[in-house]
Amino acid sequence: MTAELICFEGRCRSRYAITEPIYNCPRCGGLLEAAYSKPESSVAEWKALWRARRTSNAPLDQSGVWRYREFIPFLADYSRVVTLREGSTPILDGRLAAEYGGLDRLRFKHQGFNPTGSFKDNGMTCGVAQALRLGMTRVACVSTGNTSASMAAYASAAGLQPIIFIPYGNIAYGKLAQALEYGARTFQVEANFDQILALVRQLAERLGIYLLNSINPFRIEGQKTIMLEMMDQLDWRVPDWVVLPGGNLGNTSAFGKGLREMKELGLIDRLPRLAVIQAAGAAPFYDLMRAADRSQLHAVVHPETLATAIKIGDPVSWPKALHEVNTTCGVVEQVSEQEIADAKAVIGKAGIGCEPASAATLAGIRKLTAAGTIAKGSDVVAVLTGNVLKDPDYVHQYHTGVLKAPDNTVIKSNFGNAPVVVPNDAGVIEVMLRG
């Protein structure tokens, strides 16, 4: 098995050693992806091996990423891999949510069950493994929150120094709290995500720090396993649709690559369609899909949404994401702040819960079924990307009717569930509970 890095640009396709510490193609500036020679094992052998590992107590086998290591064979050996038992996330039936979304049935693949509460862990265990292999001592990222929480945990667990850059005043508290607790050197910069990314790329180059943003091709490899694990859990029966939120579009790229590779290897016989949902205030990919000329994405200069995980105006991975959406006959939809907030409360009421960006999935499904794009009887899996506790302020404000959209309009608490203040009087409370 050989692994290498290949430029994603069709007209370049330059190849580099898998151990080059590069994030973009040195020749053309294009995105890079990991590519592998054809495996020798048969598909049936792999499926049996992966299933058998679920009963193993070996740390790598317990990881929902490294259990599938034959699918992401970029390392020469696994002795230094650090796993926090990422992946192995459940697929949950959301009956109430299905009805709200206009579907007979809806299942959620909940990445919020990860060790730091988001799908970033699936990618980060791979990114950190590559940093260790390259002999790096420091890793950095710019993040709307979850990447920093995840990188802080994995880098610290691996004995690397995590350095994180976040937009000042634009981060959910659960996420910042994690970065601090996991020991990251944390810089809050007075700039937006896209501006800070440019800054950090400069610093990484000058100081020899390994960058773990989602342009890092090894994070994409790890996130591919979300689709592989989903297919394993579905006994390899391919759903009609996989729905996910889109921000920097790393996950869209990873899901598409994972699905394509599974089909090429014969692990699945067809591709599900990808539906990528963006927040209307940060929807450059949605705009691109509606444009006559899709050769260049036009960045949103001031992205705005309370779903901070997808508040990105200039998504770096758009060329890959465009390819994957096209390959799967996918669609891109946008949803409003009110739609996200209500969908989130419905997912909560179904006993599942998620952070705002994740709820864009259900809001998008509701629109896409209403438009007839997704049929009522379709087999749909929505990927919930983050845990409900990531953004407790948002939850409390929604349920108490004081949540405000970025344009200062109040978001209606349509599914609100405010706490009730009562006197210390059993009689009074009894009357209320009987009512």
**C-alpha triplet 351, 356, 362: angle, nearest 5°:** 65
Member of 69, 107, 120, 219 binding ligand PLP (CB under 6 A): 120
Smallest gap from residue 428 Cβ to ligand PLP (A): 41
Place of tokens 């259900």: 362
Tokens 């939850």, located at residue? 395
> Which is nearest to 308 in space by CA: 422, 73, 146?
146
3-state SS, residue 410: strand
Selected from 94, 101, 102, 245, the binder of ligand PLP by CB under 6 A is 245
CA atoms within 13 A on the CB side of 24: 11
Q: Which residue is nearest to ligand PLP (CB)?
A: 386
CB of 75 to ligand PLP, least distance (A): 23
Instruction: Map the footprint of ligand PLP across residues 196-225, applying CB under 6 A.
Output: 214
Question: What residues from 252 to 281 belong to the interface with ligand PLP (CB under 6 A)?
Answer: 252
**What are the backbone angles phi and psi of residue 218, rounded to the nearest 5°?**
-80, -30
Q: Which is nearer to ligand PLP, 130 or 358 (CB)?
A: 358
As measured in angstroms, the least distance from the Cβ of 211 to ligand PLP is 15
Task: Using the minimum distance from each CB to ligand PLP, give the nearer residue, 35 or 226.
Answer: 226
Whether 234 and 267 have beta carbons less than 8 Å apart is answered as no
Alpha-carbon distance of 385 to 357, in angstroms, equals 7
Instruction: Check binding of 305 to ligand PLP (CB under 6 A).
Output: no
Residues 133-152 interacting with ligand PLP (rule: CB under 6 A): 146
- Note whether 288 binds ligand PLP by CB under 6 A: no
Antiparallel, parallel or unpaired: β 91-93 and 106-110: antiparallel
Q: 101, 115, 247, 353: which one contacts ligand PLP (CB under 6 A)? A: 247
Question: What stretch of H or E contains 27?
Answer: none
Choices 99-107, 177-185, 204-212, 249-257; region in contact with ligand PLP by CB under 6 A? 249-257
Per-residue interface string for the shown chain with ligand PLP, residues 324-363, x marking contact by CB under 6 A: -------------------------------x-xx-----
CB of 271 to ligand PLP, least distance (A): 19
Output the CA–CA distances (angstroms, integers) from residue 244 to 99, 111, 247, in the order listed. 18, 11, 10
Residue with tokens 């601090």, as numbered in its chain: 180
Distance of alpha carbon 356 from alpha carbon 337, whole angstroms: 9
- Binding residues vs ligand PLP (CB under 6 A): 118, 120, 146, 214, 245-252, 309-310, 355, 357-358, 385-386
